[in-house]
Amino acid sequence: MFWKSTYNEFIKIAAKPRSYIGIAAITLIVGIILFAMRLDGMMYISFITAPFEQSLSFEGNILNGNLMAFIILQMLIIHIPLLIAFVTGDLISGEGAMGTIRLLLTKPISRTSILLSKYLAGCAYTLVVLLWMGFMAIFIGKLLFGTGDLMVLKSDGLIILQESDISWRFLYGFVVAYLALVMIATLSLTLSCFSENSIGPIVSTMGIIILFTIIGTLDVPMFDHIRPYLFTTHMAAWRSFFEDPLPIEQITQSIVVLLVHIVSLLGIAIYKFNKKDILS
Amino acid sequence: MSSSEKIIEVKNLVKHYGKFHAVEDVSFDVYRGDVFGFLGPNGAGKSTTIRTMLSLISPTSGELKLFGRNLLTDRNYILSRIGCIVEKPDFYKYLSAQKNLEIFARLSGVTADKKKVLEILDFVGLKGREKDKVSGFSHGMKQRLGIAQTLIHDPELIILDEPTTGLDPQGIIDIRNLILQLKNERNKTVLLSSHILSEIELIANRMVIINKGKTIVQGSVSELLNGQELIVSFSVDNIEKAIQSLNQNNVTIDKDSIQGTNLLLHIAQENIPVINKLFCDNNVNVFSIETKRKLEDYFLKLINH
């Protein structure tokens, strides 16, 4: 019954117009970035390399598809949570707002199964969105700009990664980015269990992300103890795969924090959903 | 015909939301083959009771047995044998009627092939609309689709919560006929909630009336509505002469029985022509005779309060 319910959830997500807003937004934003870089990319490169030009000389195709993918990933990882929450925040509360939750929960399937099937479908949607972004960023980027070494600008310097050393970094980077986005999907689904309308969980998810990001970036000593445990601190952990040498301990810590958040929030969601009186 | 097998047993059901007592003490039994009327004014606790029976709401206390099993321990077994509409029949508006039915069939543990879906849509009068999105359906069409949804897994018990609310007169007649077809052609047991007594009277064989979360009365519709004293209103031209003629025949009248030129008498149906003849013999002209049943009068008072 669980798989039948999951199949239903896939059908619903595929049929909802809002599911395509994320895909369309990514296509549009990535398209604009690639178009702009095609026109003015060299000026952007000059701006980045200017501080190093006296000590280093840059040769080869610097403005390449790998750099495009890296830039796009950095920009969109901030916006994708909104696009994910837009769909996953609606999974439970949307049924409540539409009234279909009454029919759904009078069927011979446990509430936990319904919730988990929705969660699985939400995670699959998140994967599709991320894969689409990856396809647009890497393949279309390489198609338009060719390949080459990747130049990664850090606050304390510049890292040049050889072309042959990049693919696996993108692969692992995407896996950790996916984990971060699944965390967002879990948060919005959990909030969705507490709400009777679609907008509430989406706005709340973004509110929490913004609040935690502010706490994480404020240089206030009292937040020092909290910062390592905020999920927002670890959402950009995918970037660690573009460092040399790899900060394995830091990456592991980020993965553990994200997993603990996911499991805890999912537990809360299951508890709340099972206890919920359906009054809508 | 209803059998002696109890399909639903509700005993001393209570549901509180903090200080608000939605259901205080509701008890009733529904037998196999019944079209059971669940009657009460708005806010009486009908929907809360129905939601509790369908596990949408957890009860504060009380016992709920369906098909002889406890709802708390055998939820899935019980729900697999029930089809229901709770309040409005809401569907996924962005999906077609067929897709909606397929989704709910899958969750009910059956596969709804196209032939079955078309057969059920035909039964509820939605033939040819299977590909149409539900967003374009009228309220009446959604009600029909709601009934189709209740039938998709061929359940034994169908629970319909106020199925005629918001429908036009023709829609009400159509839904009423559909419910009767469910009983007569498909041998379903139907529990039907309503706040309209006449609606229940037309289709139900047994009923319960609840008010303020408590059971008031339950039993067979014919016994409750027909086997009792009536309140008969005689509109006459001379009220004093009418009272005098009644008093002469040992019929006592209290003050509450006189309403303008109308006399309200609590009498059995067979006594109506006797009283009418008495008035005629005493030269009292009778303009109209209206009858109300005690239960109907009581129920109307409940609704009007």
User: Does A12 or B217 have the greater pLDDT score?
Assistant: A12
B180 contacts chain A (CB < 8 A): no
Share of chain A above pLDDT 70, in %: 97
**Residue among B190, B170, B169, B171 nearest B179 (CA):** B190
Residue (of B111, B146, B179) closest to A102 by Cα position? B146
- For residue A272, count other CB atoms closer than 10 A to its CB: 16
**Residue-by-residue DSSP string for B215-233:** EEEEEEHHHHHHSS-EEEE
Q: Could you say which of A98, A107, A110 has the minimum Cβ distance to residue B104?
A: A107
- Bridge partners, B289 (sequence order): B234
What are the pLDDT digits (tens) for B208-223? 999 889 998 888 887 7
Indicate the residue of A15, A105, A108 with minimum beta-carbon distance to B108: A108
pLDDT, tens only, A243-267: 888 889 999 999 999 999 999 999 9
Question: Who among A4, A15, A106 is closest to B84 (CB)?
Answer: A106
Q: In angstroms, what separates the C-alpha of B203 from chain A's closest C-alpha?
A: 25
What does the mean pLDDT of chain B come to? Answer: 87
Q: Which of A31-45, B29-43, B106-120 has the highest mean pLDDT?
A: B29-43
Write down the pLDDT at residue B226. 66
Return d(Cα B38, Cα B194) in angstroms, integer: 6
Closest CA of chain A from B160, distance in Å: 12
Q: Which stretches of chain B are DSSP H helices?
A: 46-53, 75-79, 97-107, 114-123, 139-151, 169-186, 197-203, 221-226, 239-248, 272-281, 294-304
- Residues in chain A closer than 8 A to B103 (CB atoms): 8, 11-12
Which residues have CB under 8 Å from A141's CB, separation 6+? A34, A65, A66, A68, A69, A72
User: Chain B partners of A8 at a C-beta cutoff of 8 Å?
Assistant: 103, 106-107
| Cβ atoms A205, A85 nearer than 8 A | yes
Pairing of strands B35-39, B6-17: unpaired
> Structure pTM?
0.84
Give contacts of A 65-104 with B, CB under 8 A.
98-100, 102-104
Pull the structure tokens for residue A81: 């949570």
Which of A8, A11, A108 minimises the CB distance to B80? A108
pLDDT in tens, B160-203: 998 888 778 887 888 888 888 888 888 889 999 988 887 888 88
Chain B within 8 Å of A204 (Cβ-Cβ)?
Answer: no
Q: What number of C-beta contacts closer than 8 Å exist between A and B?
A: 80
Work out whether strand B69-70 and strand B214-220 pair parallel, antiparallel, or are unpaired. unpaired
Task: Report the percent of chain B where pLDDT is more than 90.
Answer: 38
pLDDT band at A79 (very low <50, low <70, confident <90, very high): confident
